[in-house]
Amino acid sequence: MSPLGQIKIVLVEPAGALNVGSVARVMKNMGLGQLVLVNPECDPLGEQARLMAVHAVEILETAEVVPDLATALMGCSRIMATVGRDMDTNIPLAPPRQTLPALLNHSAAIIFGREDHGLTNQELMLAQCLIQIPTDSTYPSLNLAQAVGVCCYELWQAQADQSALGGEQSSQSPSTASFEDLEGFYGHWQSLLLKIGYLYPHTADSRMAKLRGLVNRSQPTAAEIALLRGMLRQVFWAIEHLPSQR
């Protein structure tokens, strides 16, 4: 499989069929084939989308349409999201040329937000890294299809550079924990912290956002997440079964 073969381009609630068709075209230009549409607000198979896709209509026809972002990310071990402005989050922020090579040879996803207001903070929390495309300050806003085009080009160039070096270096790293594994761990962890009184329901989301950032930066493997969840299960057991100490 191509180093790009497992990478999903995920569009959240795209409103413009012309944009969706343009995305399909640039994906085919750069050797990517997995398009996922989260609750699209346009017809991705309509005349306008097909007009812009030109010879990439098959990407529109095979695109996966899902009801929510969590479903779109199932099976992914590396997830990045694009932002159009500086964000006050605990997630690393970097340009695409620096970050995207890490997706090669992995089940991965790049999330692109809505044309008018991008991604919500809750959606951004599902990513391990945020991508910001450098632009001139006089007009920094990029069209959705333009942003996808820049990222697709950087991915294509990264895989070309990797091929020139004669290896698949990124595939040699241990298997990163999947989206499902991480979300299960975060839910387990939050339940424990609520139970022991470290978290309170009204502040849990903001605290967990910081903890997610800490874990996501380390890119834990599936085995490491299993180890941590084993610890959590033992703590739950101890709370329920060991006698209380004065």
Q: What is the DSSP string of 158-219?
A: HHHHHHHHTS-GGGGSPPBPPHHHHHHHHHHHHHHHHHTTSS-TTTHHHHHHHHHHHHHHH-
Q: Look up residue 126 and give its amino acid.
A: L
pLDDT at 22: 98
pLDDT tens per residue, range 149-177: 999 999 999 999 988 877 554 444 567 88
Q: Look up residue 83 and give its amino acid.
A: V
Q: Look up residue 155 and give its amino acid.
A: L
pTM (2 d.p.): 0.86
pLDDT at 48: 97
Direct distance between the N- and C-terminal alpha carbons of the chain, in angstroms, rounded to an integer: 60
Domains and CATH numbers, the chain: 7-172 (3.40.1280.10), 179-241 (1.10.8)
Q: Which structure tokens are listed for 238?
A: 């101890």
72 CB burial (10 A radius; 0-12, 13-18, 19+)? buried
Is 128 within 8 Å of 219 (Cβ atoms)? yes
Rounded (5°) CA angle 92-79-234: 90
Q: Could you tell me the CA-to-CA distances from 108 to 104, 116, 163, 238, 239 in Å, in that order?
A: 8, 25, 19, 37, 37
pLDDT at 119: 95
Q: Could you tell me the CA-to-CA distances from 152 to 27, 28, 56, 61, 184 in Å, in that order?
A: 6, 9, 15, 19, 30
* Residues of the chain below pLDDT 50: 169-172, 246
pLDDT at 171: 46
pLDDT at 246: 47
pLDDT at 89: 67
pLDDT tens per residue, range 57-100: 999 999 999 999 999 999 999 999 999 876 666 677 899 999 99
pLDDT at 140: 86
Q: Could you tell me the CA-to-CA distances from 140 to 15, 16, 32, 143 in Å, in that order?
A: 21, 20, 26, 10
Helices (H) and strands (E) in the chain, counts: 10, 7
